[in-house]
Amino acid sequence: MDDNLVVETTSGKIRGYNRRGVIKFKGIPYAEPPIDDLRFKPPSSIKPWKHVLDATNFSPIAPQPPPEIEARYARNMPQNEAKCLTLNIWTQKLDNNKRPVMFWIHGGGFTIGSGSGSDGSRLVLRGDVVVVSINYRLGPLGFLYIPDVPDATANVGMLDIIAALRWTKENIEKFGGDPDNVTIFGCSAGGFAVTTLLAMPSAKGLFHRAIAQSGAAHKNSYSPATGMENYEDLIHKLGIKKGDIDALRKIPFEKIIQNMKRGKRRAKGVVTWGPVVDKDTLPEHPINAISNGSAKDIELITGSNLDEFKLWTSISTEPLEMSEEKLLVKVNRITKFMNQREDKSKQMIGVYNQLRKTPRDIFDAMRTDYEFRIPAIRLAEAQSQHQKNTYMYLFSWKSPFKDGKFGAMHGLEVCFVFNTLWDRDFAMIARKTEETQELSEKMMDVWISFSRSGNPNNPNIPEIHPYNLEKRATLIFDKVISVEEDPYSNERIAWNGLL
């Protein structure tokens, strides 16, 4: 192991290390500490340092509440508002070979997560790429919407990501990467962020390809009204007058996190915290912007997992068994937000009943489609009108976790993309076997091939054609990888006019 690898960046010199053929730099600051007067403001350019910065350990993560799921198997990381805006880099060589850059944006509902949660080493070794991961501000500190205060900015968590992209563009050549070949990719809120970046004017020119995994621009998200609800709820709990930004900036971050709205997953808006449409940073809903060609030069892969919502079913306190009466009540809650009556709920249940065995399976499939698959399809539909290199996938490999009850749940594909398989099956992590290792390698090859050329095709998969409204070609990731045209077409059609 070489512990004395020093690179000079625009911010100053940093020291990384080499472990098992991968050179790693961790915890590199890309912006000034977002505290005091900089809280709720766009990230400020990092002031250069004169010493050699030790970049051999991850930085503290962005302030966040305890996670519901990850707490069961992930280690607790220190949190620090001042020191969280950092990025990490994995590469094989510090030369001028200009490797494709894969820029990972973590998920977690814009409230939890960090760039240290996914190790880029195996992608680097598999495809000779450079992997970057980041931290960005979360929850109220990253996505508080305060339109009545001119000294605060909306969507600063997204602006953090853009600042990290800008730092990457300026410096990645020093790490063997190509600043003119950057692919952004992310899962869940990370995929949501990827889609949002396609519509943000200040992100133009900072990336060239995009992979949105289980996260697209949901029709019912990005609402300023939801942002106002969150803001008013927070200041009420903190006892602060509306518009008193100075008082809000003096509150310890621990108290803000303690009082932030969490609650259950919102039936209408999907995420409680996240980007909102505002006139400066995000002028229009991403799907509208993309439909109008905002990302016409960006090649895209998007997709979802077959059983996304079963992740939340796995941690629910509700019984797994569900009566038909209960199913109708729960489906009515979804269709109500789309201004539909009970007869529409019954019609949709009838469609899903053709391929699903139980009321629980029907409901989980409908929630999966409402929150993930249909938004991914709408994204592909919109982008394919402007960009021929638009591709769709469906991850359907079912985990044997808890006797297979939770199938291809949300987030499960991430351990395959990064080849971070475990010695056992647990929630969103698959056990390393000959089968899972082979699937992981093929998925890595798809992601790497796309990042290199904008085309996912490679010798290890059947040929996949770009997505279009006629064929709707979809790459199916399962025990056997295949290509299907318009899978689950009746269920897709059932959402026409609704989402």
pLDDT higher at 68 or 373: 373
The answer to whether the beta carbons of residues 415 and 428 sit under 8 Å apart is yes
Q: What is the mean pLDDT of residues 220-227?
A: 93
The per-residue b/e assignment along 247-283, b for 16 or more CB within 10 angstroms, e otherwise, is: ebbebebeebbebbbeeeeebebbbbbbbbbbeebbe
- What angle in degrees, to the nearest 10, is found between the helix axes of 359-368 and 342-352? 100
Instruction: Inform me whether the pLDDT recorded for 317 exceeds 90.
Output: no
What is the pLDDT confidence band of residue 414, given thresholds at 50, 70 and 90?
very high
Query: Residue 201's pLDDT is what?
Result: 97
Query: H or E element: which one contains 8?
Result: strand 2-8
Q: Assess whether pLDDT exceeds 90 at residue 66.
A: no
Which percentage of the chain shows pLDDT scores above 70? 96
Residue of 139, 221, 413 lying closest to 302 (CA atoms): 413
For the cut 70, the answer to whether the pLDDT of residue 164 exceeds it is: yes
Q: Pick the residue with more confidence: 268 or 496?
A: 496
| Nearest-10 crossing angle of helices 359-368, 324-336 | 20
Of the listed ranges 192-201, 284-293, 318-327, 448-457, the least confidently predicted one is 318-327
Active site residues: 188, 308, 410
Instruction: Find the mean pLDDT for residues 20-28.
Output: 97
Q: What local confidence, expressed as pLDDT, does residue 269 receive? A: 53
**Neighbouring-strand partners of residue 183:** 102, 209
What pLDDT is recorded for position 181?
A: 98
Q: Which residues, at least 6 apart from 142, have a Cβ–Cβ distance to it below 8 Å?
A: 62, 110, 136, 156, 157, 158, 160, 273
Residue 192 backbone dihedrals phi, psi, to 5 degrees: -60, -45
SS3 for 311-322 is HHHHHCCCCCCC
How does DSSP classify residue 115?
A: G
CA angle 168, 376, 453 (to 5 degrees): 45
| This model's pTM is above 0.75 | yes
Is the CB of residue 396 less than 8 Å from the CB of residue 304? Answer: no
Place 270 in a pLDDT band, splitting at 50, 70 and 90.
confident
pLDDT in tens, 192-218: 999 999 999 999 999 999 999 999 999
Mean pLDDT of 491-499: 96
pLDDT band at 70, cuts 50/70/90? low
Mean per-residue pLDDT of the chain = 95
3-state secondary structure at position 449:
helix
**Structure confidence at residue 2 as a pLDDT band (50, 70, 90):** low
306 pLDDT more than 70: yes
Q: Return d(Cα 204, Cα 199) in angstroms, integer.
A: 9
**What would the mean pLDDT of 98-104 be, rounded to a whole number?**
98
Residue 21, classified by CB atoms within 10 Å of its CB into exposed (0-12), middle (13-18) or buried (19+), is exposed
- Segment 374-398 mean pLDDT: 98
- Please, which residues have CB within 8 angstroms of residue 319's CB and are 6 or more apart in sequence? none
| Structural domains in the chain, sorted by start | 1-295 (3.40.50.1820)
The larger pLDDT score, comparing residue 224 to residue 71, is at: 224
Residue 265, pLDDT above cutoff 70 = no
- In the numeric block, which tokens belong to residue 259? 């009082």
Element (H, E) at 477: strand 473-477
Q: How confident is the model at residue 42 (pLDDT cuts 50, 70, 90)?
A: very high
Report the range of poorest mean pLDDT among 51-55, 65-69, 299-303, 479-483: 65-69
pLDDT, position 437: 98
